[in-house]
Structure 1
Amino acid sequence: MSVFSERLTSARKAMGWTRKRAVAEFQLPYQTYSNYEQGKREPDINTMKQLANKLNTTTDYLTGVTDNPNLPSVSNTDLEAMLDTAHSYDGKPMNDHDREIIKTYLKGYFQGKE
């Protein structure tokens, strides 16, 4: 088994998912996903990102760059700065227009809390 296949399997089990559930979550053919876990095949970068996002981990962890499976914690970071660098939400791509809509909504929300 490769580092990727071992970590993918471990992350899936940490979520409490069976392979069948993982296939449904990732919307992948069963054989494709099974090949990933068996180390017979590795996903392209976009699929790798999707796997990491849904498993609440990072691509760096799945590929063995780091041994820490946890997402980096964010502290004292301005939400606006975070949105400026956001590229996707729930695996769906975001563009500049999407980010501006979210910022406008949040500004209105927080002004209403004052």
Structure 2
Amino acid sequence: MSMFGQRLKQLRKKRKLTMQEVADYVGVAKSTYAGYESGYRQPTIESIQTIARKLRTSADYLLGLTDYPDPPAEINHNAKEYLNVDKLHWDGVPLEKDDLDLIRHLLERVLRDRTSSKDD
């Protein structure tokens, strides 16, 4: 069985889905999907994307390009927004308002220094 097939089967079982459920979502016969898991068949790129959506993973993970099955949350996060969130913690240790103020100040300083060095 190929890495692709192993990962399909592993994630399908982890998500408690049947082959039929995934096959129906992708729009292929159960036997076709079973062929993907066994390595007997190769899905189209569109099918890989659809399967990844159903299994809540990335196509990169299914294809062996990464070893992280859970895709990262939206990458484009504004740190400033996070520092204004109540109940923020660092590995379970709550950050107090004073902590967050200090972190904000340090990040603003880093950004000021970075932009001033680009101007030179």
Q: Does 1:20 align with 2:14?
A: no
Structure 1 residues 76 and 43: CA distance shift in structure 2, 3 A: closer
- Match of 2:115? none
How does the TM-score come out when normalised to structure 2? Answer: 0.59
How far 1:19 moved relative to its partner? 1.3
Structure 2: which 5+ residue stretches go unaligned?
79-120
Q: How many residues align?
A: 78
Identical counterparts, % of pairs:
37
Which runs of 5 or more structure 1 residues have no equivalent in the other structure? 79-114
Tell me how far 1:63 sits from its aligned partner. 0.6
The C-alpha deviation readout for 1:37-71, integer Å capped at 9, x for no partner, is 11101211111100001110000100111110001
Letter in 2 for 1:37: E
CA RMSD of superposed structures (Å) = 1.6
Give the TM-score normalised by the residue count of structure 1. 0.62
| Pairwise CA distance, 1:13 | 0.6
Q: Which has the larger radius of gyration?
A: 2
The structure with higher relative contact order (CA 8 Å, sep 6+) is 1
